[in-house]
Amino acid sequence: MMEAVLEKIKEEVKNKKECLSHSIVICAGTGCIANGAMEVHAALAEYINKNNLPLTLTLKEELPEEGKDPVLLSKSGCQGFCQVGPLVTIEPNGILYTKVKAENAQDIIEKTILKGEVIEDLLYKEPATGRSCQSHRDIPFYTRQERTVLKSCGNIDPENIGDYIYSGGYEAARDMILNKEPQEVCDIMKDAGLRGRGGGGFATGRKWELALRQDTDEKYIICNGDEGDPGAFMDRSVMEGNPHAVLEGMIIAAKACGGTEGQIYVRMEYPLAVERINIAIEEARAHGYLGKGIFGSDFDFDIFVMEGAGAFVCGEASAMTESIMGRRGMPRVKPPRTAEQGLWGKPTVVNNVETLACVPLIAAKGAEEYRKVGTDGSPGTKTFALTGHVANTGLIEVPFGTTLREIIFNIGGGVLNSKGEIDNDDFKAVQIGGPSGGCLIEEHLDIPLDFDSLKTVGAMVGSGGLVVMNKSTCMVQIARFFMKFTQSESCGKCVPCREGTRQILELIDDVAQGRGTMETLDLLEDLCETVAESSLCGLGKSAPSPVLSTMQQFREEWEAHVKDMTCPTGNCKDLVSYAITADLCKGCTACKRACPVGAIEGAVKQAHTIDEEKCIRCGACVDTCRFNAITVGGN
């Protein structure tokens, strides 16, 4: 009976889609909304209504009666290419418009919708060649990816369960609930080789099986949406763009281990994700996919949302369960594992958002088909947040085993130098895995990105943050940035992390501010290793990773800070000085006017000088000088 209901909904949506003349899909992920996507949506709706064109904003409602060719104006989740948003897709033409503004609404309707013309100025232009790309199929950023988890995020309306069902949603969950035994569901995930996408890479099927073996009448499923890594936004985008996939994954996980209740733990800094997840839960309940007797079975399972207060440590499973129970979010000693004893002392399965979104795909296509992508040890795909000194920033998805070279230079479009120009020779490093990850350099560009390969070079996939850096980046400052973050986010429960991270940060400050020696570097390495070996939880154990990684890959740069008392990149203000070359100075006074503290002296058409005592080393003078008369050197 439930199968007939799903087919009926799919048929209704199909019939409505066939009546449409066009669909205008606006990317309404957080990035595009911040750049004005909702203003574009409002302008398009206003113009369509003002000109009496048949319009529908959602396929939930009845289509306009006048004519058989209404226009659907809908919102999607993140389409990935954040660099050029807001994005607007026109179907059935497949046209993708970039950097759209509200004032473009009239042209989009009059030229593209009514006349079928393409607006050249709104198309994406390849930075290197200037070639115009009319659709997703023409843009290397998209064509070189393999979007499976993210495929529906940019296509479906995240606030319309009908769109999700039309794309095959909830069919896998219905099959698992009605036709499979719990151990069979665990075996499917084990055969598929699904590993946790939150950082540790633990085998999902084994985790579920461990919870299944626990003999108790209450078990919990937690979706970890507490994405706290700097520069990471993969889980947020999935929750915003395809929330029903997460719910369906949780339902299947509940079947596998006998779960009785689900909790989605989302950081409160993600209001749009919280809103859309809650809408999806209400829709799923209304259709009988959550609550009592889901899918017409005797299986009860419901899901609730818990907003976290923004503590990074609450991304750790045991700390998260403590937070949900109203206690201070602090990790505990293991064993027992959370799958054995977690929320309210009951077995609790904790999977992150992306992991759960993979589950319906595996259940639908089968383990063998899923394993055709990726590597033997890391099957499937992985989403990454690509940021930093790279031409194309955004959310990407590639098979495990893809190289950094492919991601940075092809999907990412190349490295940007300090002038904002593409210059691949200016590549210096990429930080992978956020505060828990490591730093990779040019010799690592062809290493396949998977859980096992990265361990061999002291890095990890982590949650999927990729921060690309050019040669203007100071690696001491990078290490300081991540250590400052980790130190401020330490829960303070164990001494190695609470005190060790503080002392590591102080030693880095000594190096950056000219107080360091070679002994400082030796002490810093010893302290990092001690913290990594003796901290209580995984977050503390991995906290020194960015420091150790940068020290290993860029030892000469660290030593320059303590031996020569200079920062090779000029980013450590206490180790640089500014001087004006008299022969090159024209006395134009531009630098004098730009200096915020009045440290530059000199009359018009006469060589200027810099007062080192007043200079705050902000670099404003260097940026202003048109004659390259100001040099930056070590103290």
The per-residue pLDDT for 163 is 94
Domains assigned to the chain: 13-137 (3.40.30.10), 161-370 (3.40.50.11540), 381-473 (3.10.20.600), 476-563 (1.20.1440.230), 573-634 (3.30.70.20)
3-state secondary structure at position 345: helix
With a cut of 70, say whether residue 635 has pLDDT above it: no
How much is the pLDDT for 68?
Answer: 58
Residue type for position 404: L
406 pLDDT more than 90? yes
With bands split at pLDDT 50, 70 and 90, how would you rate the model's confidence at 539? confident
Confidence label for 15 from pLDDT (cuts 50, 70 and 90): confident
Q: If phi over 0 gives left and psi between -120 and 50 gives alpha, with beta otherwise, what is residue 464?
A: left
In angstroms, the CA 612 to CA 14 distance is: 72
6: which 2 tokens?
């799903």
Mean pLDDT confidence for 362-381: 96
CA geometry: angle 383, 386, 392, nearest 5 deg: 120
d(CA 69, CA 532): 63
What is the rounded CA–CA span in Å between residue 367 and residue 235? Answer: 23
What number is the average pLDDT over the span 380-404? 95
Cβ contacts of 121 within 8 Å, gap of 6 or more: none
Q: Enter the pTM of the model.
A: 0.92
The string of DSSP codes covering 243-287 is HHHHHHHHHHHHHHHT--EEEEEEETT-HHHHHHHHHHHHHHHHT
Kindly write down the DSSP assignment for every residue of 475-533, as one continuous string. Answer: HHHHHHHHHHHHHHH----SHHHHHHHHHHHHHHHHHHTT---HHHHHHHHHHHHHHHH
The model's pLDDT over 56-96, given as tens digits with 9 standing for 90+, comes to 888 777 777 655 578 999 999 999 999 899 999 999 989 99
User: What is the average pLDDT across 520-544?
Assistant: 94
What pLDDT digit, counting tens, does each position of 569-601 carry?
Answer: 988 988 988 899 999 999 999 999 999 999 999
What is the pLDDT confidence band of residue 348, given thresholds at 50, 70 and 90? Answer: very high
Contact 251, 185 (CB under 8 A): no
Predicted local confidence at residue 368, as pLDDT: 96
Mean pLDDT, the chain, rounded, equals: 93
d(CA 25, CA 113): 13
Q: Count CA atoms within 13 Å of residue 262 on its CB side.
A: 30
- Tokens describing residue 612: 């080192």
Task: Say whether pLDDT at 247 is over 80.
Answer: yes
pLDDT given at position 434? 83
Q: What is the reported pLDDT for 458?
A: 82
Measuring CA to CA, which residue among 275, 279, 249, 242 is closest to residue 164? 242
Q: Give percent of the chain above pLDDT 70.
A: 99
Q: What is the CA radius of gyration of the chain?
A: 27
CA atoms of 595 and 572, how far apart (whole Å): 19
* pLDDT grade for 222, boundaries at 50, 70 and 90: very high
Q: For residue 415, give the 3-state DSSP assignment.
A: strand
For the cut 90, the answer to whether the pLDDT of residue 53 exceeds it is: no
Q: How many whole angstroms separate alpha carbon 151 and alpha carbon 91?
A: 16
Strand order in the sheet with 381-388: 394-399, 381-388, 465-470, 427-432, 438-440
- Going by their DSSP bridges, the two strands 438-440 and 609-610 should be labelled as unpaired
Give the position of tokens 């880095």. 508
273-294 per-position pLDDT tens digit = 999 999 999 999 999 999 999 9
How far is residue 572's CA from residue 481's CA, in Å, rounded to a whole number?
13
DSSP secondary structure letter of residue 121: G
Instruction: Choose from 53-57, 320-324, 329-333 the range with maximum mean pLDDT.
Output: 320-324
Tell me, what's the pLDDT at 17? 86
Rounded distance between C-alpha atoms, residue 440 and residue 457, angstroms: 8
Give Cβ neighbours of residue 7 (< 8 Å, ≥ 6 apart): none
